[in-house]
Amino acid sequence: MKTIDVKSMSVEELKELKQEITIELGERVESKNVILEGVCKGSSKYHFSKTKHWIKKVRKIDTSKTNGYAFEGDFLKTDAENLIKDTDFIVEKTCGNIYFYRGNNKEDCVEGSRDNFVSFVLEADKFMQKRI
């Protein structure tokens, strides 16, 4: 096993290493496929054009950012079914709120809004770290 000299690393390098370890551990967990549907799936085209919606499968959270770019990952469909792993972390922006959850388990989630987005990002990061 290769030894890493963490004492010589900067705080930023340690945070980056921690995030890489978190991602790797998450990918090694046994998982199964589940179907994810957006909260507003089935709504009218008018509804989707009136309010901004997006869903991302999150690989990493950058707590130094204060908007949706804090969540690094791939966008999913908001108006159709998505095939994901039950271990995937999801952030979903709907017509009113923002949700962060794992798999398709929307009952165990972090909920926020545009008005408290910075707090939401920090809480989502804690949620993710506890479940790896």
**Is residue 99 in a domain?**
yes
Q: Considering its fold, how many domains does the chain have in total?
A: 1
Q: pLDDT tens digits for 3-39?
A: 888 899 999 999 888 888 877 877 787 889 999 998 8
Q: What is the dihedral of CA 73, 41, 111, 90, to 10 degrees?
A: -20
**Is residue 1 in a domain?**
no
CB 87 within 8 A of CB 104: no
**Is residue 35 in a domain?**
yes
pLDDT given at position 42: 84
Select from 61, 119, 118 the least CA-distant residue to 91: 61
pLDDT given at position 1: 76
pLDDT given at position 35: 95
The parent domain of residue 33 ranges over: 6-130
Beta bridge mates, 83: 35
User: How many Cα atoms within 13 Å fall on the side-chain side of residue 48?
Assistant: 14
pLDDT given at position 51: 84
**Is residue 63 in a domain?**
yes
Q: Which helix (H) or strand (E) holds 71?
A: strand 71-76
**Is residue 75 in a domain?**
yes
Select from 70, 52, 60, 30 the least CA-distant residue to 129: 60
Q: Number of helices (H) and strands (E), helices first, in the chain?
A: 3, 7
**Is residue 86 in a domain?**
yes
pLDDT given at position 33: 94
Whether the per-residue pLDDT at 71 is higher than 80: the answer is yes
Q: Which helix (H) or strand (E) holds 58?
A: strand 54-61
pLDDT given at position 59: 92
